[in-house]
Structure 1
């Protein structure tokens, strides 16, 4: 689909989203933990890798399709689980689900979405995986598994790197609260972004519907409840317990260490996702692209390897695939599109990334994803740049 006028790459969408959103909401999406070193490195780390194209091997018929865990991606990209994305655009999770289905890719649905998992599942016939945490109340975890099964989710994506919420200075400074109530500190900010306010004011009161009935309808109280049920004391035995209660594919999200990847496989994981939660949890931890090569080497093709963190160009996807990823997963990139134009904006961002990837593979002489390998990229030390 055609992108809104003047927006030709993901960074353009980010700039447009910054203009469209109140500052506290933009910072909630853009920000990372503490000094945001990991969030920055997630993006900049791709710049250390350089593509080594081949001569006289270009093709007008490049294939980007990827078979993955019993499904097929039109190109090797997915939408990450992004909590409360319905704050950016009315019914934002539903809008994103429709865009993902239109592009033929998977949506990983956040347990912390404003719409319920059932509403998001019903929004499109696209392939969806549900993000899941191991909650203190294992009964709640089992309830989510059963609801996911009944709603038609094909896989479960277990997040391992958020036993507690990371410390995000931007949110603390802004007094960010997941609510629509105006305070003196936010009134001027919202006034400057009145179009967002008018658009959102016509939607039902915000609620994290997956947790309906377990706290009051107030968003602040619900967010506090969700924080209270996260379990910081989980072990690999707890993962094995979950594996025993789900018959479909299980993906372990939050892998940075090769030994953890091997443990996940040994415990029955069907895929691993190299991730640091977008740099929003532990600052100073490895960037995803820096952790990928060692994880992919340890996995050795036994299960698919996914990567999220910093992907904002089609060439980033090419590099990640060459380094051993079967597919990439985007969070902030699709949220910028959502904030600008709802489903239309998400689909436009996906179009951009697909077109950039196809262009790079045509020029570089790779006719299919299987032709991308470590020989396709070279890492140059910073001193040589």
Structure 2
């Protein structure tokens, strides 16, 4: 199959990865209305076509969260990435380093923060889940700093778990039941890599969190450690422990954005967790212009949820984001073709963004503004 777009990766990914892991990535909470709206609302945002402009010198160089990047995107933190494709976190980190964009490692990654640091030479970002065990949180912060992570991304929208029906019906687990084993047997490439690759663990948690010594105890810990008490005082405590640039992820309301700005937070990610938490929340792209109107003079805005193309990156820039985070698109490419797939994905997005800029009469990302797009029903 000739890969020309993100949708092509999704189709190959679906054919190669066990159903329970495909559904883990390609699903939302409850009715999945927000999950679907994230993507469909981008399509409602039309781009103005312009002509008669010299577009010979298009550049996508810019900055995100104070770091120079070759494209206005970063790879979002995704839990269990190393199960979608064995060694996945390191493969994505290497592709990101090669292309000059940030990679964000999830707390719930398979490879540990130390393993990713050892395998790469460019600083990456670390995403922190704030759990009840504050000793673990403190240790995780300092491990990320010792590993050379340049930015700490605090996930704010996981104080309780949105129910994902597909995961429950699939009995999602890294220890599959008979039904899942039968499905895995239809994915021989994945099964071979899983069987012959390194043992799967959650390197940031197993052996570090209290009482978590193996995968069985990890599952119990993960279910019990979601912290409904997470508040803005915790954010201040984390900032003191980290003592470096902090990004808040999961802001989807003007009031919360103002609170973050008043605290002196420099960067926030407008996000609804890919539609995996509050079902019925608006799409990230629909909230972005409202949040930008309120705080963009004080806070840098990034966006995730629903980005599937270079055209979407252009739309997000127009609505006030300096860049986007790619989650599902990255998972599709990794699950389909490993590191090579992620590198091809970056090339595709680069071409799409440059083509969109040129046909919209833009050569500089900073020249893209709300005037370059318009909503349609």
TM-score of Structure 1 vs Structure 2, range by shorter chain: over 0.9
Q: CA deviation at 1:286?
A: 1.2
**Paired residues of 1:243 and 1:268 also in contact (CA < 8 A):** no
- Cα deviation, 1:248-302, whole Å, max 9, x if unaligned, reads 1100100011111111121121201000111111111111011100111111332
2:53 is the alignment partner of 1:57:
yes
Counterpart Cα distance in 1 of 2:308 and 2:269 = 18
Alpha-carbon distance in structure 2 between the residues aligned to 1:212 and 1:192: 30
Match of 1:247 in 2: 243
TM-score relative to the length of structure 2: 0.96
Q: Does residue 188 of the first structure (1) align with residue 182 of the second (2)? A: yes
Counterparts of 1:71 and 1:86, CA distance in 2: 26
Q: Return closer, same or farther for 1:245/1:216 CA change in 2, 3 Å cut-off.
A: closer
**TM alignment of 1:231-310, pairs within 5 A:** 231-310=227-306
Instruction: Tell me how far apart the structure 2 counterparts of residues 39 and 69 of structure 1 sit (CA, whole Å).
Output: 26
Structure-2 residue corresponding to 1:146: 142
The equivalent of 1:76 in structure 2 is 72
Gaps of 5+ in 2: none
Contact 2:302 2:323 survives alignment (8 Å): yes
**What is residue 105 of structure 2 aligned with on the other side?**
109
Whether 1:338 and 2:334 are equivalent positions in the alignment is yes
Does residue 203 in structure 1 map to residue 224 in structure 2? no
Query: Taking structure 1 as reference, are residues 17 and 220 closer, same or farther at Cα in structure 2, changes over 3 Å only?
Result: farther
Indicate yes or no: 2:67 matched with 1:86: no
Q: Secondary structure of 2:35's partner?
A: helix
Aligned residues: 375
CA shift digits 1:69-124 (9 cap, x unpaired): 33101010110000001111111100110011111000111000001011112222
- Contact kept? 2:64, 2:72, Cα under 8 Å: no
Instruction: State the match for 2:9 in structure 1.
Output: 13
Cα distance in 2 for residues equivalent to 1:184 and 1:280? 27
Aligned-partner Cα distance in 2 for 1:300–1:26: 36
CA deviations on 1:140-190 (whole Å, 9 max, x unpaired) are 1111111111100011000011112220011111111123x5x32123211
1:23 is the counterpart of 2:19: yes
* Aligned 8 A contact 2:95 2:342 in 1: yes
Q: Could you report, residue by residue, the CA deviation over 1:15-59 in whole angstroms, capped at 9, with x for unpaired residues?
A: 000011111111111011011111101100101111113221141
RMSD across aligned C-alpha pairs, in angstroms? 1.3
TM-score, scaled relative to structure 1? 0.94
> Displaced runs of 4+ in structure 1, greater than 4 A?
none
- Check if 1:134 corresponds to 2:127: no
